[in-house]
Structure 1
Amino acid sequence: MLVTGTGLDEERSYLEECRAALRGMRDGARFNVVVGEHVAGDRYSAERLGRHLKSLAKELAEEPEGPVFFGRLDFGAGADAGDHRGRRYYIGRRHISGGTGRQPLVLDWRAPVSTVFYQADVRDSRGVTTRRRFGWSGWPPVLTGFEDERLGEGGAPGTASRILAEEIERPRVGPMRDIVATIQPEQDELVRTGLETSICVQGAPGTGKTAVGLHRAAYLLYTYRRRLAGSGVLILGPNQAFLGYISAVLPALGEMDVEQTTLGRLLAPEPSKGPPKGSDDEAAAVVKHDARMAEVLRRALYGRVRRPDGPLTVPDGAYRWRVSEEELRRVVDDVLREAPPYGVGRERVLSRLVSLLRARAEARGQTTGTAWTRRTGRAVREFLDTVWPVARPREVVAELLTDPNVLAGAAGGILTPAEQSAILWSRPPRSFKSARWSEADAVLLDEVAGLIERPRGYGHVIVDEAQDLSPMQCRAVARRSEHGSITVLGDLAQGTTPWAARSWPEQLAALGKPGAAPVTLTTGFRVPGAVVRLANRLLDELAVDVPRTRSFRGDGLLRFHRTSDLPGTAARVVREALGHEGSIALVAADDALDGLAEAVRAEGVEIAALGEGSDGVRVTAVPATLAKGLEYDHVVVAEPAAVVEAEPRGANRLYVVLTRAVSRLEVVHTRPLPAGITPAI
């Protein structure tokens, strides 16, 4: 039962106390920044303290004005309450101090005791007698009521929480919100998985897999802050529109310093010049993304190493040191067998040759100081440039894709002649510096860069829409998480690339984490029942083995509109959707979207292109290929048949498009509907 009486007045009074304490924390943080530089014992300590204090002050200053707390736990006096016997805790998005010697006014949702808020139930109360959920409305948020669940002795299973349901079904306006107030037990277990463990979350649309990944990032940074301070957390999304959509979640959870990017931007050949300008046809892209290209590139790179074909003579004043051809070959062959990164191998050959010469010089009683080592190293480098030359990723890949003989030498027995022909540049650039690289080329360049020198590694990597990664993209991710863990998020049914995964064990092996076990989320919280039932019918047309979804919600509107005037009907349906609360998306095949958007504007309705960021514009024109990961309250899908025909895995794309709606879905079409979504009679 939602309580709005005397008890609510007491909670509002406590709320004001919390807000005052939070203001005090902000003021104290600013004051500490001013005086902190004068209290450290040395310059290094002062710098570290200053950075910490400024980071804390910035974090508190940017704290969103959201609800201060969303839950309360009352523990009983029984032994099962443990150290929390008789205590009361408020749970919120961040810790709020109660002052020296006092219990915190609000506990961070990531604190160990907060786990009980999500996991306790009547069967296992964990010492909790009452769990309270708070209802909020408006902006700035106003506390409007609360509900209590009796979990202690004598408690009985109750009806579903009205506050919980309203929060889940709240209209979607603006970017994605956090779900700290609505995390379900199975989601909480995934969020709180330890840093050492890699996990894979298979989840249908609306099951909260993206939210689980983001909240796990916040949890890991809270729990393992020192261990992640140097390596950090990387979040990889499918496109910039998706990153913009999720951008507000981590700041709302108090985490500002997380790198969020797309794999394309991470691997950009020339970051200062923006995304790759070149393009590939599908045949070339499929070959370049194939895992076999890793061996082709390794051959092309190490094919530059030459066996010494004569002795090395190094002048040393009036004396000349001589290293025989046999000794040189032994050094080079030993390093090749050790298989270090190419750049490390080059330096290793140099170091061993200099050491060999130093031993001979010292045996003759010569002093070999820094000047001698530098002088000898320069002489050896001239030889090294011949047998183990410096390699640049762009130069290596450009030569491979330009010269048929080089490609044939590296790809012989790996790629067929037709595959080699597919990836050769039809119009080679004058040099690698003027090449127009494609997105597929970017994975080749990254592979070679990784063979030359190991890239920066992260303590934890979160990959969303991971089912769409190619084997070569998986290798790029694996290189950056070789010594860390990963969270893999995706849905095999939403695989739309030519190389999309059909099995999680295979994809996890490609990501370098074969031991990670897939966990499936099957309850849809954001997608209503009417849409889930439609999506489940379409699953029968997709060549993937995933379980059907059940919806937490029994609501939702689903309507089909057969028409002879597609633009006019789509515009009318969009205009009518404005009569409902929330965001609206018009989704269509990419090449048809502009015309449909113009028809909407002709009806006097303002519509923004995806990514424009037009404030206050409720309607967005969304290309079908960029819809993945996004959510809108009301979705109007125009001509599903055209979406299916636009690409080889068009049925999977349609599955993505239809499941963007979190309240209402309307399908407008002139042509017969694709198999699987014919309206049920």
Structure 2
Amino acid sequence: MTSTHPRLQDPHHPEPSHGLRDELDFERAYHDTCRTTLAAMVDGAAEQVVIGEDVSASGADAEVLGYQLRSRAKALSELPEGPLFFGRLDFDDDGQALHIGRLRISEHPAAPPLVVDWRAPVSRAFYQAGPRDPQGVAVRRRFGWAPGSRGDRADLTGLEDEHLGSGETGTSDIVAREIERPRLGPMRDIAATIQPEQDDLVRGDLAESLCVQGAPGTGKTAVGLHRAAYLLYTYPQRVQRAGLLILGPNPTFLSYISEVLPSLGETGVRQATLHDEIARHPVTGTDTERAAVLKHDARMAEVLRRALYARVSAEGTDSLAVPGGSYQWRVPAAELARIVAEVRDELPPYAVGRERVRMRAVGSVLARAERRAGPQPRAWVRGIERARALSAWVETVWPKVRPEEVVAELLTDPQALARAAEGLLDAEEQGALRWARPPRSYKSARWSAADLVLLDEVAGLIEHPEGYGHIVVDEAQDLSPMECRAIARRAPFGSLTVLGDLAQGTSPWAARSWDVLLRHLGKPRAAVVPLTTGFRVPTAIVELANRLLERLDVDLPAARSLRGDGELRLRPTDDVLGTTVAAVRDALTRDGSVGIVAADAEVDRVREALAAAGIRAAAPEELGARVTVVPATLVKGLEYDHVVAVEPAAVAEAEPRGLHRLYVVLTRAVSRLDVVHGRPLPFPAGDGTRGAE
């Protein structure tokens, strides 16, 4: 690429030429026009809501129209301030020029747009066109905006043209600056910097489920979020009708990504943890690690199914006598037993099966009445349906039950557990599962986080939950088989975007293979696509992490990075806390965020040492802080410009998959990494300082 237009206000470049001044003035004026038009669009959407309230239509149609108008007005009014375009395409054939931005801006719905949404089909050339395949593009222009710009005209500081028709190619300085600029606050969208391989994943078909195995810094989370925005744009009715869900590993992570979709014009998306989705009760109980691992084991699905359906039985029941008018209708016990057996063999949800049994018993009574006296009126049939004798029989053979009753009985009654777990769990495993202090009843039970997964499994057996049209699952490598089943129940007909990195699996049940996890998610045919090229984590840091990767129990290729600007410093010391404070002071002389990551048990000591040195350190949920102290167990998915990793050996020893946790810690830096250690590192790391200043 030939950057004939250097960036303005850049101390490394001379003053721009008159030609560049003219180009910038034109684009700034064009941006002013776009901003005025967008303001009119916001006002017009609000006015349409008022008009829609007086629409002449049926109640249902008016409600639908009102909802659509209010949603549109809300989405436009909640758009974060910022530049309205980041690129432009000039085409060969007709000289047409299209500005590319985060949403479509037009003076009228039927008029040519001033800005084309980055998700529109025509915009794909911005990401995919190249000298070998220009796709009709003569010039691709990228705009350089001042960091943190709210879209003021003076913030348009430069532009960069790539003449694809002339075969120009190279590295974009504007893209590199955007990727490398300091990180403060929530995660940003990457609409301006999406790479071709990322774009292929973003624009995948709604019907296809996809698994992205992404090495650190490859942008897998951003890909998943932009795919969600793309699907909402491309399939609005199908996705919005069924809903779109973003599942993250913890609330801190969700806060970190919370502004990406709104910045792309999408606000009607549920972002939650899996716990938020399945929590029927607050977590007040705890499990031993052994019990938690067993409760997350796939075998528990069959144990719970057996425990639930053990309640269904017609054995020992007599014939059914139901009064109807002046006659009492009797259904033989054998016929009733056959009804129960047939329904059970059909494997419906438990609640559906219960109603099916009821209605087939009513059908048997009705058939007898019609043979004797002909067709019966509807009121007569309703009387049979409500008959006490029939209801009592249904309650005997297919009793109504709550998930809490099933799970509590399993975890308190050794005989009930033994029957349900026969051939699945041995005696030791059954003993480890049972509650040490059984509650008086399920109503007073103290439910653990793992118990909630069991409750959701039983609830799904009783009645299928409402599903989503699409679910994006991030950090999926840490999902247990039972958690995967909970997600699968919510996407029986919808698709999934599964994001993760097997090397970053830290839970006791972390996946070793995507094939197994996808099978539990109900999408065994989903394509697994690797992303191995990093755009954010510098080479020096990636190379260090690759040395640790060799010691992990995963079969993954080494990651690589396109960035050579980072810095790695190993700091062996006899004073870990003092050296940590010194490393933080050094970091504060540079721009960007500073994250100090330590083993959970050491976090308080680190925070106290910083406070004693006059350095205020925020908690991880305080997004936008300059200095943050983060427990190692909460750093997954987060990133900081400068990371100080404190005593890696302590992180590695804190849990069974501690080396995997350490791999996460070492890959959170997007510019510089200090590794402070008083003990030997638990992997070969070389010596000294590497990377560019």
State the TM-score, normalizing by the size of structure 1: 0.96
What is the 5 A alignment of 1:444-523? 444-523=454-533
Q: CA separation in 1, counterparts of 2:344 and 2:625?
A: 60
Post-superposition offset of 1:561: 1.4
Counterpart among 629, 644, 652 of residue 637 in structure 2: 629
Counterpart among 156, 161, 172 of residue 172 in structure 2: 161
Deviations 1:204-232 (A, max 9, x none): 11100000000000000000001112211
Q: CA separation in 2, counterparts of 1:229 and 1:239?
A: 25
Whether 1:526 and 2:533 are equivalent positions in the alignment is no
**CA contact 1:342–1:452 (8 Å) conserved in 2:** yes
Whether 1:350 and 2:350 are equivalent positions in the alignment is no
Q: CA separation in 2, counterparts of 1:552 and 1:370?
A: 74
Structure 1: unaligned runs, 5 residues or longer: 78-84
Q: CA separation in 2, counterparts of 1:556 and 1:163?
A: 18
Q: Which residue does 1:5 correspond to in 2?
A: 21
Q: Which deviates the most, 392-401 or 131-140?
A: 131-140
Post-superposition offset of 1:612: 4.0
Shift of the 571–369 alpha-carbon distance from structure 1 to 2, 3 Å rule, reads farther
Secondary structure at 1:461 match in 2: strand
**CA contact 2:596–2:645 (8 Å) conserved in 1:** yes
Whether 1:59 and 2:75 are equivalent positions in the alignment is yes
Q: Which residue does 1:109 correspond to in 2?
A: 118
Q: CA separation in 2, counterparts of 1:599 and 1:370?
A: 79
Whether 1:429 and 2:439 are equivalent positions in the alignment is yes
Q: Which residue does 1:31 correspond to in 2?
A: 47
Q: Which residue does 2:426 correspond to in 1?
A: 416
Give the counterpart letter for 1:155 in structure 2.
G
Q: Which deviates the most, 366-375 or 231-240?
A: 366-375
Q: Which residue does 2:341 correspond to in 1?
A: 333
**CA contact 1:298–1:451 (8 Å) conserved in 2:** yes
Q: Which residue does 1:580 correspond to in 2?
A: 590
Deviations 1:499-520 (A, max 9, x none): 1111111111111111112100
What is the 5 A alignment of 1:84-483? 85-99=94-108, 102-137=111-146, 138-141=148-151, 142-152=155-165, 154-157=166-169, 159-270=170-281, 274=282, 276-309=283-316, 310-365=318-373, 368-378=376-386, 379=388, 380-483=390-493
Secondary structure at 2:54 match in 1: coil
Post-superposition offset of 1:377: 2.2
Q: Which deviates the most, 566-575 or 224-233?
A: 566-575
Give the counterpart letter for 1:300 in structure 2.
A
Q: Which residue does 2:662 correspond to in 1?
A: 654
Q: Which residue does 1:82 correspond to in 2?
A: none
State the TM-score, normalizing by the size of structure 2: 0.94
Q: CA separation in 2, counterparts of 1:100 and 1:645?
A: 60
Give the counterpart letter for 2:481 in structure 1.
P
**CA contact 1:171–1:633 (8 Å) conserved in 2:** yes
Q: CA separation in 2, counterparts of 1:174 and 1:451?
A: 42
Shift of the 534–402 alpha-carbon distance from structure 1 to 2, 3 Å rule, reads same
Post-superposition offset of 1:583: 1.0
Q: CA separation in 2, counterparts of 1:348 and 1:102?
A: 56
Q: Which deviates the most, 58-67 or 187-196?
A: 58-67
Deviations 1:440-467 (A, max 9, x none): 1111111111111111111111111111
Q: CA separation in 2, counterparts of 1:76 and 1:98?
A: 26
**CA contact 2:185–2:625 (8 Å) conserved in 1:** no
Q: Which residue does 2:555 correspond to in 1?
A: 545
**CA contact 2:349–2:462 (8 Å) conserved in 1:** yes
Counterpart among 651, 673, 690 of residue 665 in structure 1: 673
Q: CA separation in 2, counterparts of 1:429 and 1:371?
A: 46
Q: Which deviates the most, 413-422 or 357-366?
A: 357-366
Q: CA separation in 2, counterparts of 1:65 and 1:474?
A: 38
Secondary structure at 2:618 match in 1: strand
**CA contact 2:132–2:167 (8 Å) conserved in 1:** no
Post-superposition offset of 1:368: 3.5
Structure 2: unaligned runs, 5 residues or longer: 7-19
What is the 5 A alignment of 1:580-599? 580-599=590-609
Give the counterpart letter for 1:177 in structure 2.
R
Post-superposition offset of 1:101: 5.5
Post-superposition offset of 1:6: 1.4
Q: CA separation in 2, counterparts of 1:58 and 1:295?
A: 46
Shift of the 298–101 alpha-carbon distance from structure 1 to 2, 3 Å rule, reads closer
Post-superposition offset of 1:39: 3.8
Deviations 1:462-488 (A, max 9, x none): 111111111111111111111111001
Whether 1:563 and 2:573 are equivalent positions in the alignment is yes
Q: Which residue does 2:91 correspond to in 1?
A: 75
**CA contact 1:297–1:410 (8 Å) conserved in 2:** yes
**CA contact 2:184–2:625 (8 Å) conserved in 1:** no
Q: Which residue does 2:64 correspond to in 1?
A: 48
**CA contact 1:308–1:328 (8 Å) conserved in 2:** no
Q: CA separation in 1, counterparts of 2:503 and 2:686?
A: 19
Q: Which residue does 2:14 correspond to in 1?
A: none
Secondary structure at 2:298 match in 1: coil
Q: CA separation in 1, counterparts of 2:30 and 2:118?
A: 18
Q: CA separation in 2, counterparts of 1:332 and 1:491?
A: 47
Secondary structure at 1:441 match in 2: helix
**Number of corresponding residues:** 666
Give the counterpart letter for 2:59 in structure 1.
R
**CA contact 2:570–2:688 (8 Å) conserved in 1:** no
Secondary structure at 2:400 match in 1: coil
Post-superposition offset of 1:327: 0.5
**CA contact 1:531–1:658 (8 Å) conserved in 2:** yes
Q: CA separation in 2, counterparts of 1:41 and 1:325?
A: 55
**CA contact 1:120–1:128 (8 Å) conserved in 2:** yes
Give the counterpart letter for 2:279 in structure 1.
A
**CA contact 2:468–2:491 (8 Å) conserved in 1:** yes
Post-superposition offset of 1:680: 6.8
Secondary structure at 1:629 match in 2: coil
Post-superposition offset of 1:100: 6.5
Q: Which deviates the most, 35-44 or 109-118?
A: 35-44
Give the counterpart letter for 2:116 in structure 1.
L
Q: CA separation in 1, counterparts of 2:65 and 2:302?
A: 48
Q: Percent identity?
A: 61
Post-superposition offset of 1:50: 1.9
Q: CA separation in 1, counterparts of 2:612 and 2:640?
A: 22
